Chains A and B, each alone.
Chain A
């Protein structure tokens, strides 16, 4: 009898273990850590998303819903100046949580003495979360010390990239033209840089008071991409050369020479506004809103946002249309961009937090499809409605300039892109972004190994070299574009390539390429 009882007990235990193993954890499980504790709790939060008007938690639908679901709310501090985060880190006055973008800020937070590593918190407080996470996301965020201190927002993995219905980021660069002036010129085709140049010349003749082309340093990268310069959004600003090696993007000679000479020609002939090269986003918008700009380089979503703003001006006739393909150069399409960015921003749980368990469980909530959609789309029925599977947002919740929230602590790129694609359903006139994010996708490809290359940390030899290279690049590009003569432009470019070499380019190239090759080998296994 005893033996039978023992056997039955062992069988029962084995069955329960097997059933537990077979039962998959899912985002809908009732056993998720965040669901077990929803008592009210308030934490301090610092963020640097200064373009958004969100400096108080609890006034918008999204934060109210998050608090209703999880009990968590925040006392928010927004960045006051560029050195704000460094000041609070060095004085030890850290808030409980920090949500920031920007390589320098991220580098500062990803330190064992400053923040809790998520791997340790997940293992201790929310072990089921590890099963729900995409291993690629973890790989992207894992540092040299083996820990990951966040999971970056807006990460794109290969599966997403291969999905033909998914587009690019709505921050991708494009070129826009005033449609009324184009009509005046007879709607000429602009397929190449030569066409672009000719149209600008005609505009200058017809409208000498108008700025033919406005290109800010901040957003004006589209033209450079047309000449074959790669995207510089990776952590190390790396691109891949013909030999499959990672190099610094701004060491790629041929596209840089061609682009700078062309831009210099535009400026030399009064077709490119020199002053606009120094504009920030607000100044660019102010210039465009003045109605005195024929064409400008900017981000995809800028077109719709600024067209909406112009439309609100009584008597406005100005409307900008974006080009939906890259310009060819000497008959060739040279745009060939590599997406290797690890993500946009990170949410960090600092060592000052007395209840990191609660915040890591909040991250579990935020990472779920429900939390992701809530924080990026808003509340259904209040902020958006679904049309044909896309979240079409109401006008009272414009997804960029008004009402955009910054509580997307674990946003995925897929849901952000759904908003962009939905724009076309809302209002075709202000929905160009929906087409642009898909039109340009064929000219991009994805390199996950490049996305995992780590940034050179500040105050390291490679970090110091990188800082010097960045400084040389910024100075040389401006100097080349604003050179008085072609010869001076060529001289500036030659000096630039010599200077970056002597600044330690080879050392930095080795640093990023060694990582890249090692990651490729590890991923292949």
Chain B
């Protein structure tokens, strides 16, 4: 390029065209990373944003026979479009569904949330790296097993016909226990299986945060005579508090779906049955039941929208509270 053209180019760099050229050059330099981002963005637009057009059927009387474009042409539902929402609030199952969803989710948040943190702290304190790696690998493997397989395992252990646990009980001269149908056992099975399945996976995030802590802090603390527990309390936990808060906000945001593991639907679908229904039915499962087994699409959409609004409220509220209390926030 000649000096004159470079000079002229330099002048052009300060104009709108120049800024555009700079941006394009930067984009080209990051083209592979941008490709990843664009693919993710396109995926989100197609599967998360475009389907939002369907939300309108929550306010309409939609039938499957109306076809895809029926969501635009379906008549407005009675009660100024709020018929389906009011129907849900009047539904005799409303209190059962909300109670189960909130109780299960809060139990999972309370019990499942601290476990990966504690597990990460324990692994971090392990000395032998070989043993550490084995434990870590084994602990997150259940995350890759689908809930269908997990339920198969639960069934084989707990069914009354030939389950391991009930066979042992019978051998000990005790009565069989209806773990899989007893309403009193559902919450325990759901929470414990959720912890078992997700604990190892979520501990990876906290382990990654712990590995980023400056080691000189620990050295200084040890020189000052701090014990292990003191190091954990005063160095480890404060340094990973930001990560903890982010994960907590995300968990609260997906509270209705079952918190970190988001397992409410899978568990309701697989472990729920007619006998334990009053304990196993949760909001995500009820949406599926109404929409895809009873073909009440508008009704199910209304319930889904209700769930989404609650989740949105929880995300913003927890983010706000976190920012005020700790200075950490997601956005």
Contacts and interface: CB of A to CB of B under 8 A. Distances in A.
Contact of B65 (A113, A292, A475): A113
Nearest to B290: A467
A290 B161 contact: yes
Task: Indicate the member of A86, A275, A471, A479 with the most B CB atoms within 10 Å.
Answer: A275
A89 interface: yes
Question: Which 9 interchain pairs have the tightest Cβ spacing?
Answer: A278-B273, A83-B292, A90-B64, A111-B65, A89-B64, A478-B274, A274-B178, A478-B275, A114-B65
A468 B277 contact: no
A367 B182 CA distance: 49
Contacts of A86: 64, 292, 295, 297
A503 interface: yes
Contacts of A467: 290, 294, 296
Contacts of A108: 64-65, 295
B77 to A, nearest CB: 9
Contact of A478 (B61, B162, B277): B277
Interface in B26-73: 61-68, 70
B291 to A, nearest CB: 8
Contacts of B91: 468
B181 A277 contact: yes
Interface string A402-428: 000000000000000000000000000
A91 B67 contact: yes
A482 B93 contact: no
Nearest to A277: B275
Contact of A464 (B178, B181, B292, B299): B299
8 contacts: A108-B65, A275-B161, A277-B273, A278-B181, A475-B93, A475-B277, A479-B278, A502-B92
A478 B276 CA distance: 8
A275 B160 contact: yes
A472 B161 CA distance: 29
Interface in B112-154: none
Contact residues on A (Cβ < 8 Å of other chain), bracket: 35 or more
Nearest to B92: A499
Contacts of B215: none
Nearest to B63: A459
B267 interface: no
A479 B190 CA distance: 20
A459 B233 CA distance: 57
Contacts, number: 102
Contacts of B292: 82-83, 86
A11 interface: no
Nearest to A461: B78
Contact residues on B (Cβ < 8 Å of other chain), bracket: 35 or more
Contact of A458 (B63, B67, B278): B63
A270 B292 CA distance: 36
Contacts of B64: 86, 89-90, 108
Interface string A471-486: 1101100110010000
A247 B298 CA distance: 28
Task: Indicate the member of B62, B63, B180 with the most A CB atoms within 10 Å.
Answer: B63
B68 A91 contact: yes
B68 A474 contact: no
Contact of B293 (A82, A90, A474, A503): A82
B159 interface: yes
Interface string B279-304: 00000000000101111111100000
A211 B151 CA distance: 23
B211 interface: no
A87 to B, nearest CB: 8
A412 B182 CA distance: 43
Interface string B166-191: 00001000010010111100000000
A92 B68 contact: yes
A32 B100 CA distance: 61
Contacts of A287: 161
B173 to A, nearest CB: 11
Contacts of A82: 292-293
A459 B62 contact: yes
A474 B277 contact: yes
B156 interface: no
Nearest to B64: A90
A207 to B, nearest CB: 13
A104 interface: yes
Contacts of A321: none
A165 B100 CA distance: 54
A114 B66 CA distance: 9
A217 interface: yes
Interface string A245-271: 000000000000000000000000010
Contacts of B181: 274-275, 277-278, 482
Contact of B92 (A92, A211, A472): A472
